[in-house]
Structure 1
Amino acid sequence: MEMRSFFGFDTQANFLISDIAIDPSRSPFIEERLEVLIQADNLTEIHEFAKGLKLDKTYKVINLNKMDIGHNKKISHSERRQIERDIGLFIDGEPELDHPEVLFGVILLDGFWYFGKYVKSESIWRKHVHKPNSYSTALNTRVARAIANIADPHLNGIRLIDPCCGIGTVVVEALSMGMDIVGRDISPFVCVGARENIAFFGLDGNITKGPIAEVTEHYDVAIIDLPYNIYTHASPEEQFDIIRHARRIADRAVIVTVEPIDAMLADVAFIIRDRCVAKKQQFERHILLCE
């Protein structure tokens, strides 16, 4: 679902080709990105292209065929190293194997060679696991990060609100990616915990206390986790009230629920545009993108 939000489609393969540039560190599911500078029929064409590269920074070339990619079989370690050396020798610059300033990547896919700038993903969401305040029932940071990306896939300045933010798991992920988000919760103790979590990671965010019913500003997207029926024994009427106010305060919503709420969404004129299931221990969470 995150993939569809980023690129407009998904794939069962372990790679995709798109003209949409996403920082791989934003997603907990993307390992690396190659910004293609040239597509070639053979390595000789890559060598000729590399001759035109003049760098005042240190560099390294990495062959990405270290595993099976789609229908393309893994290239052996020795052959990958030779491909890297051959390309690197044509680049006008200073090679550096340990700490290069520029990384280039080369990959063979379906009979074509691709060469370009390489970016490795950093698992920032893993660092956010170690926050000072946490609940076992909260979303894990991996799912929370994906939900934030579903809400704001292209970082185009839209305004987000998490009006039932709990300890701020989604808010932390969104803020760490530069999203414009505010959090809110009805519990003053939870609000304190959320603020501490945000400050712990050096982020600047706003958490207010109060129910969603008191929100008067309008937002582009509301992000709402609704596992209340299991953990706080909220009635269906209370859940519906939250959904109703989400419809009032936002144009779109990403709603997380542990039971079917399609009828409730229809009653407030929310249309489900996309959905998926995230499993955690003994139960499933349904993630719904609504407009």
Structure 2
Amino acid sequence: MASHNLQLGSSSTAASAASNQEILNYDLLAEVFSYLPAMNLSRLHLVSKSLHNMITSDPLFHLTQSYHNAAAAAIFVETYFRLHICAYNPVRRESWLIRIPPDGDIGLRSSLAVEFTNNVTGDYKLVYLTAGEDWSNFCRCRVYDSAAQVWTRDEMINDGGRNLKFENPVVHRGAVFWASNCFRYTTVDPYVMSYEIATGVIEFLAMPEPDDGAVESDDNISVAVWEESWLCLMHYRRRTGTFTAWGRSGDSWVKLNEFVLLGEARRRGDDVGVRRREGERDGVGVQRQR
């Protein structure tokens, strides 16, 4: 990066800073700002001309920022009538359209997930999942490769028989994960579905059995990535107000943490009573397991 100083604010402010030897080195500030997500940087480009030029015009800064924030390099939004997917990079203030192959029908639900495959070039693979007809066990899955600028895969996949939470896909180590719902309209137990982006291999991860019985219809499960290494499953037991976090280790789940919302359990007046856990304070009981 350029070896000049970065002036923030007005010229009088800069002059005052210069007199106090407080003008900050450009390279140092660029390194600090490179750790900010793209959305935060988009709000800072009007602070000063120098900062604006760094955020919008410095290719080395773009490279460093994308390396530190690969998952936030662009925002992907589906357009009306599902004709295109719009991608927007708030740092470079660039946008582009990805045309969606026609599918003959417009489903009610869809899901977008992105894996950035090259932090230098910004290449990525986009997974686009659309629901089938009501009560269908099949979804349509398409994969877009930005380097080749083509849709490389278009197939119908079995989603396991439950509705997936399309709005909350999680990308982790080359795969996309969706949690199912817990409603008891089927005998199939709740699960997490994984889709390997490179190969298209599908796997269904059964959720662990709760300590106090089977999963109930008004329970809720979701997936996330914890500390950039753990695939995490969160299970909320509404009847008891209990949250349980599980981490994926090999082919099984390991309990990471658990806590109960005592206030909610009291309000609901559940018949299991309020369980006080080790570490309880301020109305929240906490039990940690590693």
More helix by percentage: 1
Work out which of the two has the higher radius of gyration on C-alpha atoms and give 1 or 2. Answer: 2
> Which structure is richer in relative contact order (CA contacts within 8 A, separation 6 or more)?
1
TM-score, structure 2 as length reference: 0.28
TM, length-normalised to structure 1: 0.28
